[in-house]
Structure 1
Amino acid sequence: MTGLVLEAVRLPGSGSVYDVHIVDGAVARVFPHGNAPRIDSLSLDCGGRYVAPGLWDEHVHMTQWAMHSNRLDLSSAASAQEAAAAVGRSLAEEAPEETTFVGVGFRDALWRDSPTRDLLDAAAGDRPVALVSHDLHCVWLNSAAGRRYGVELDGSGLLREEPAFGLTRELGRLPDAVVDKWVDSAARAAAARGVVGVVDLEMTWNRDPWLRRIAGGFDALRVEAGVYPEDLDRAVSGGMRTGQEVPGGSGLLRVGPLKVLIDGSLNTRTAYCVDPYPFGGHGLLTVSAGELLALLGRVRETGFLPAVHAIGDAANQVALDAFERAGIGGRIEHAQFVRREDFPRFGALGVTASVQPLHALDDRDAAESNWPEGTDRAFPLRSLLDAGATLALGSDAPVARLDPWAGMSAATTRSALDGRPPWQPQEAITREQALDASTRGRFGLGVRAGDPADLVLLDTDPLTAPDSQFAAMPVAATLVAGRFTYDGGWAGL
């Protein structure tokens, strides 16, 4: 029996030392260290490092995340004036070009002034400029960009929701070789943080780009590529269904869920909420209750798992009602605000809460400014778990960075560890629960024979490390199907 033996590894929370034998991409046997029979395999002394199931990010937009690091970061801009000034400075440092200049990450919900088309025109002149908000639900254009993309702009220069998504897709139309190189780099950075797989919910037909990337040598992660309703007929006619391995994907590519957006976001003030926003209105329900029910009824017959984007508490109620009436389980993406009476419905209906803990830190100020007395139900991780829900943790990159340790730290401390008091600390969960929700329930079961050898080796015990170390957890190595996708240098591979 050949393969690889990881010698002298420890399990989190345990002082015992083991050897893990990997064969054909799976864990074959786990022995007490030094008691294993002679095995004709490559052996690697892991020096007492901790081994655990590898991590999944359950919600990313991989192409957008890859492009994010190659665009102007506006996340620190405290006003529209500051953002426009940053664009002006950046353009002044560049040689004149005709391409669209793109910035990302602005948070206008907290600005003391408002974006205007004229403000961006003054900063950019005739160079087309498009700035994408941190939550992807809003794009700020200047007049030149409006003309280039045939968009009629009002005085704000803002596009929201579907028009913003369409423009963002257009901005992503770069040469495949460029985008694929950026995606590969982003995936390898994720592997260096212990990530073995992602659910990619890029807003496009996503199967073929991934097949192209894998054919070109991509091998850093497993990918589950989501589908959107406009492509459902195409997917069904092609025999696709959630969980299916995609031929030609080298065992790395599977079909993901069907993603349905039914409301907006907090930053854009379009999340559909029970309580009105200070300026009036309850946000947007972008898919009616009847339309959602009809779609879920169809999905039930196709073999797709529905993943419904619902941020506001009113949107979560609509989504849960539709799941119940359609008699189908699935996922709710985000679940940032939930009515208390809806907490137990997640578990009862078999609906997973796919949540992004870092959003709680990013959106706390926006939430408090909208509902200063009503944020005790915001990002209710503990309440959902206590009511019987299953949690799946992700980042929603590029909305937050693709780093599961930062996300788990936010879930367990409700803090950025920056001196600010924890936000709604009663909703914190334990490290074991956060790790379980980041490993598809595998962490609590440990490393077992028969499991895929999708593993992470850590330099410290994730259950006992100080909070600051846990948030920046040192990863020694990551393996997918027993193959090293990241080696910090100690293994000599």
Structure 2
Amino acid sequence: MSGRTFDAVRGARIVGPGAELLPDAGLHDLLLADGRIADIAPTGALRLPGDVLEAEGAFLVSGLWDHHVHATQYALAVRRVPLDAMGSAAEAARRMADAPILADGRRIGVGMRDAFWPDAPSLELLDAATGDVPTYLINADLHSVWVNSAALAREGFDTPDGVLREGPAFEVGLRMNLGDPLSADAAVLAMAADAARRGVVGIVDLDLMWNAESWSRRAAAGFDGLRVEFGIYPNDLERAIAAGLRTGDVLAGAPHDLIRVGPMKVITDGSLGTRTAACSHPYGDDPADRGVLAVPPEELLALMMTATGAGFASAIHAIGDEANRFALDAFAATGAWGTIEHAQLVARSDIPRFARLGVGASVQPAHAIDDRELTDTIWADQTATAYPLRSFIDAGANVLLGSDAPVAPLDPWVSMAAAVFRTRDGREPWRAEETLPLETALAASTHGGSLHPSSIEVGGRADLVLCAEDPRRADEPGLSSMEVRATLLSGRATHLA
């Protein structure tokens, strides 16, 4: 993906973090050297040598990050059958009957949202439609997979309704993603190019696999399109410690410093769509239906203590309010640092604890729009705050925006639009009190998040995005579809329109 390396940018309007440092809001030139911003001045005040990117009055923002991506799974999704438009289990089963058989002998569909279907997935329904070809329908939230009998036999699992949830679903997903590493790497390369076209300079990759191996292989093959911080899961924690890995370290053996070790990721509960997020109040009329806590509090404490002592940040998946409370308790008891991933339902008394403990809220605003009907129905009796955004900001927490791709598109502009407008398609804003100002959403879409954003300033990285329009004046459709004219990674163009 290597492209032109620019020595300067001429005639840009600087927006977002860093703009407040400038004496005026007019056009500015930036001098770039050694991957950083060497100088900034009003247009015409600097002598600009070498290759110059002509901004022509376009708007310059800091390079954008997606703080929660499943890179391989997202990259491979384009080769799988989309199911997001299916309105019932019967329709989805018929769609899979006509799906192509992949090279590994499977049929795979992605993006099913069975929580919205009037009929329930069943083994009999899928068997009747798909026969003896192993068939898999992956839930949009990744926490369940509907499979037929042939797939159950192939994978060695058994379930009466054909739906694998949580641990078994993750295991089957891992097997599908690891089937052809070189093909997956090619898909990830294409994904990185697509991300660069949307202004992305970096991702936090939380694929459920030994990511050190896959990213070492990609770096050796020449991958240089994004900055990557990759996660380590508990089953690989001792392996990572033995290998001398620590959060923030450059991946050993890589030909550049773009790929670094990220946090230890722990999945402590399920999801809203699969009704497995651990909540203090029941889902509907069944008092026993409060989701599942996949990792007991004492086990979480031990994991985070080990990770912290070995130099790893912690990224704790917690969606329900009970899971968030236990995660915050673990951060407080262990002195760990890092993030809570998702934080979709949080008790009002726990929201200020994010700031007090220095725990980042790594959230995905598009989920709030996708799940508004589910939240208003199966979470109607919950007393905690659903999808808090402004509440985190007002409490002083560091907010980091992401997509959880493939659950939502790897597109920070879509995430920002959801955070700023809390709606799409012209509907009334959903829980409008939780909207974010554009400047806050933009800061939360940079590497450091809302409290520590990447800034366009002298000495800062030349990770820059040139936008055709002023994001501060965009409406929801305009912000979500923002035209990106150029993306620079350390001054090198990864996208140039």
- Does TM, scored on the shorter chain, surpass 0.5? yes
5 Å-filtered alignment, 1:169-318, equals 169-249=174-254, 250-280=256-286, 281-318=289-326
Contact 1:199 / 1:223 at 8 angstroms: preserved in 2? yes
Greater shift in the superposed pair: 439-448 or 359-368? 439-448
Distance 1:308 1:376, change over 3 A: closer
Equivalent residues of 2:234, 2:266 under 8 A apart: yes
Amino acid across the alignment from 2:330: A
* Separation (CA, whole Å) in 2 of partners of 1:124 and 1:445: 50
**Distance in structure 2 (CA, Å) of the matches to 1:374 and 1:298:** 34
Give 1:27's match in structure 2, choosing from 33, 37, 48: 37
Q: Does 1:4 align with 2:12?
A: no
Output the CA distance in 2 between the equivalents of 1:372 and 1:45. 52
1:398 and 2:406 matched: yes
Superposed displacement of residue 327, structure 1: 2.2
- CA shift, 1:376, in A, is 7.4
Q: Is the 8 A contact 2:62 2:454 kept in 1?
A: no
* 1:32-71, Cα deviation, whole Å (9 max, x unpaired): 11011x3542223221111111000000000000011110
Do 2:338 and 2:359's aligned partners in 1 also have CA atoms closer than 8 Å?
Answer: yes
Deviation of 1:149 after TM superposition, in Å, equals: 1.4
- Give the alignment of 1:343-362 within 5 angstroms: 343-362=351-370
1:140 aligns with 2:146: yes
1:60 and 1:466, CA in 2 relative to 1: closer, same or farther beyond 3 A? same
Secondary structure at the aligned position of 2:494 is classed as strand
Give 1:364 deviation, angstroms: 1.4
1:287-436 equivalent positions in 2, closer than 5 A:
287-372=295-380, 374=382, 377-416=385-424, 418-436=425-443
Residue of structure 1 in register with 2:86 after alignment: 77
Matches of 1:97 and 1:187, distance apart in 2: 24
Aligned identity (percent) is 47
**Which amino acid in the other structure matches residue 366 of structure 2?**
L
Q: CA deviation at 1:89?
A: 3.0
Cα distance in 2, alignment partners of residues 290 and 369 from structure 1: 32
Deviation at 1:442, TM superposition (A): 7.6
Distance in 2 between residues matched to 1:451 and 1:206, nearest whole Å: 28
The 2-side partners of 1:445 and 1:224 are apart by 16
Partner of residue 157, structure 2: 151
Following the alignment from structure 2 to structure 1, what is the Cα–Cα distance between the partners of residues 448 and 305? 28
Deviations 1:310-333 (A, max 9, x none): 000111011111111112232100
Please give the alpha-carbon distance, in whole angstroms, between the structure 1 residues aligned to 2:129 and 2:104. Answer: 16
SS at 1:402 equivalent: coil
CA–CA distance in 1 between the matches of 2:473 and 2:455? 16
Q: Which moved more, 1:12-21 or 1:49-58?
A: 12-21
CA displacement at 1:176 relative to structure 2 = 2.1
Q: Distance in 2 between matches of 1:312 and 1:58?
A: 20
CA contact 1:98–1:127 (8 Å) conserved in 2: no
Tell me if the contact between 1:97 and 1:127 (Cα under 8 Å) persists in the aligned partners: no
> Given that residues 53 and 442 in structure 1 are in contact (C-alpha distance below 8 angstroms), is that contact kept between their aligned partners in structure 2?
no
SS at match of 1:123: helix
Q: Secondary structure of 2:354's match?
A: helix
Counterparts of 2:243 and 2:448, CA distance in 1: 31
**Residues 234-280 of structure 1, C-alpha deviation per residue, up to 9 Å, x if partnerless?**
11111111111112331110001110010000010000001111152
Contact 2:319 2:345 in 1 (8 A): yes
Task: State the match for 1:67 in structure 2.
Answer: 76
**Among candidates 96, 116, 121, match of residue 87 of structure 1:** 96
CA contact (8 A) 2:269 2:323 kept: yes
Matched to 1:396, the amino acid is: D
Query: Which segments of 5 or more consecutive residues in structure 1 lack a partner in the other structure?
Result: 489-493
Separation in 2 of the partners of 1:278 and 1:467?
Answer: 33
Q: How many Å separate the matches in 2 of 1:322 and 1:373?
A: 27
SS of corresponding position for 1:241 = coil
What does residue 491 of structure 1 align with?
Answer: none
Q: Could you report, residue by residue, the CA deviation over 1:456-489 in whole angstroms, capped at 9, with x for unpaired residues? A: 011111112233211111100101111000001x
**SS state of the match for residue 139, structure 1?**
strand
Report the Cα distance in structure 1 between the residues aligned to 2:134 and 2:476, rounded to whole angstroms: 44
Deviation at 1:97, TM superposition (A): 7.6
Number of equivalences: 481
TM-fit CA distance, 1:220: 1.1
With normalisation by structure 2, the TM-score equals 0.94
Alignment match of 1:41 (pick from 41, 50, 56): 50
Separation in structure 2 between the aligned mates of residue 147 and residue 299 of structure 1, nearest angstrom: 37
Q: Is the 8 A contact 2:321 2:384 kept in 1?
A: no
Q: Distance in 2 between matches of 1:132 and 1:375?
A: 30
SS at match of 2:371: helix
Structure 1 position 177, deviation (Å): 2.1
